[in-house]
Structure 1
Amino acid sequence: MRVLIADKHFLSRTGLEYIVQKHFEHADCFALSAEGFKILSRQIKLFLPDMVILDYISVNISPEEVQKLILKYPFTRFVLITEWLPKNELLKYFKSEVKWHLLKECDEQEIKECIEYAMSNQSFFCNKLIQYLQSNEENIEIMERNRMNCNGINITQREREIIQLIAEGMSNKQIADALNLSIHTVLTHRKNIMKKTNANNTAGLVLFAIKNHLLPPSNHYLFAENG
């Protein structure tokens, strides 16, 4: 596994490299400290990493540029990691289709788990990030303006159950087995849920559920995009 670590700060860079090499002995790491979209994109093209661990703030990458990277290199896993941000700024990065996100306060085990789930293409949001997005301590006005009324869009109890199982990483077949439903019924529910919540993908659905308190407290949420 080839891993590019893009972080301007020496201690963060070397710490992440240590964790990757400690837990993934076959990982080939390359650290990048330079700033800017063009430099990062060029290094990805040269190094052809399977995964990029990116502190987008320290290397000055905007949400729009993160989206461009994800679209330009669809077979590369982009794990975002950063310090605390205002919620409205953090949410911009979620809209960029990011599937893996950590905060620098995360411990070694959670970083390891995130990398493992990225390797298996299951999304992962760390515990502190989930708690932060669920809290109402900052930018309440912005969050409320963006928040939908769950009662107004009539999320049923069955749909809530399916949303929670999606957030826990279950495939459509696993959800069907768990709820004793046919796969066709699960797919129908899922289609209706996506339409009701106006979510374009699974990450958007889970973000909606987090913002509207449809999910119980958890260490983290991870979810598969397919099947």
Structure 2
Amino acid sequence: MNPIKIHLADDHQILIDGIENLLKTISHFEVVGTSLNGSTIYDEVTHNAAEILVLDISMPEKDGIEVLKEFAQKGFPCKVIILSSYDDLKLVNEVMKLGASGYLTKQCAGENIIEAIQVVWHGQEYFCENIREKLFQNATKNIAKLTSEKKKSKIQLSDREIEIIILISLEYSGKEISDKLYISMNTVESHRKNIMKKIGAKNSISIVKYALKNNLLKP
């Protein structure tokens, strides 16, 4: 297996060193470059053929938002995982719309950076646990409204089914959904089957598309 080429961008060298030392413990990870400011990132990741960029949102000269906009304009040379001190959902939504593939707060980076790289590398989006929890809590505030709106359509979804759609879209596993909602795995699977039948979904990806289309994850 060829190593996953990773570029680290943060304005604090000590943080870069800490993450790099952690990633060195994984045999199929290779840190191919680092950046302390945002102005040269595009050229650097293009030159070193990085496949994953771990990008601090608060970079000097050109911040993470501006870097993502540059990537979107020129064509993404790699997948991007945002690293941030902030857990603001509006910021999460903004960077994901700009093309980021993952979002990590710095508080949980040490625990989750390896998992985040692996998930994003395989083509999925990644949110660390505190962001997933905030997204879920925010989304479930609107369940009553969403249920009312669904009554006007042919698709009748219960509050519980909407909760499970949101959790599936946030990449919670069946076991995690079971634990979070205090229901059995069999009940989770039963709800999943009913949801798929109601919305005409063939798999979890279809459920995620339904959630996005119906703004179930909108901050």
Structures share a fold, TM > 0.5?
A: yes
Q: Deviations over 1:7-54 (max 9, x none)?
A: 110111111111111124551431111333xx1111122111011111
Q: For 2:126, which of 120, 124, 127 is the aligned residue?
A: 124
Contact 2:33 2:44 in 1 (8 A): no
Residues 94 and 148 of structure 1: CA distance in aligned 2, closer, same or farther (over 3 Å)? farther
Matched residues in 1 for 2:32 and 2:169: separation?
A: 32
Aligned to 2:52: 51
Q: Deviations over 1:79-102 (max 9, x none)?
A: 110112654444422332322110
Amino acid at match of 1:168: E
Matched residues in 1 for 2:166 and 2:87: separation?
A: 27
RMSD: 3.9
Residues 194 and 115 of structure 1: CA distance in aligned 2, closer, same or farther (over 3 Å)? closer
Aligned to 1:179: 193
Q: For 2:147, which of 151, 159, 162 is the aligned residue?
A: 151
Aligned to 2:96: 94
TM-score by length of structure 1 reads: 0.64
Structure 1 alignment gaps of length 5 or more: 137-143, 198-204, 212-227
Number of residue pairs matched by the alignment? 187
Matched residues in 2 for 1:85 and 1:164: separation?
A: 18
Amino acid at match of 1:186: A
Q: For 2:37, which of 34, 37, 59 is the aligned residue?
A: 34
Q: For 1:103, which of 102, 105, 114 is the aligned residue?
A: 105
Matched residues in 1 for 2:134 and 2:74: separation?
A: 30
Residues 151 and 69 of structure 1: CA distance in aligned 2, closer, same or farther (over 3 Å)? same
Contact 1:122 1:169 in 2 (8 A): no
TM-score by length of structure 2 reads: 0.66
Q: Percent identity?
A: 16
Residues 147 and 43 of structure 1: CA distance in aligned 2, closer, same or farther (over 3 Å)? farther
SS at match of 2:80: strand
Residues 84 and 72 of structure 1: CA distance in aligned 2, closer, same or farther (over 3 Å)? same
Deviation of residue 131 (structure 1)?
Answer: 3.7
Matched residues in 2 for 1:31 and 1:192: separation?
A: 38
Residues 22 and 70 of structure 1: CA distance in aligned 2, closer, same or farther (over 3 Å)? farther
Aligned to 1:17: 20
Deviation of residue 121 (structure 1)?
Answer: 1.5
The higher-RCO structure (CA 8 Å, 6+ apart) is: 1
SS at match of 1:105: helix
Contact 1:114 1:124 in 2 (8 A): yes
Matched residues in 1 for 2:143 and 2:12: separation?
A: 35
Residues 7 and 67 of structure 1: CA distance in aligned 2, closer, same or farther (over 3 Å)? same
Aligned to 2:181: none
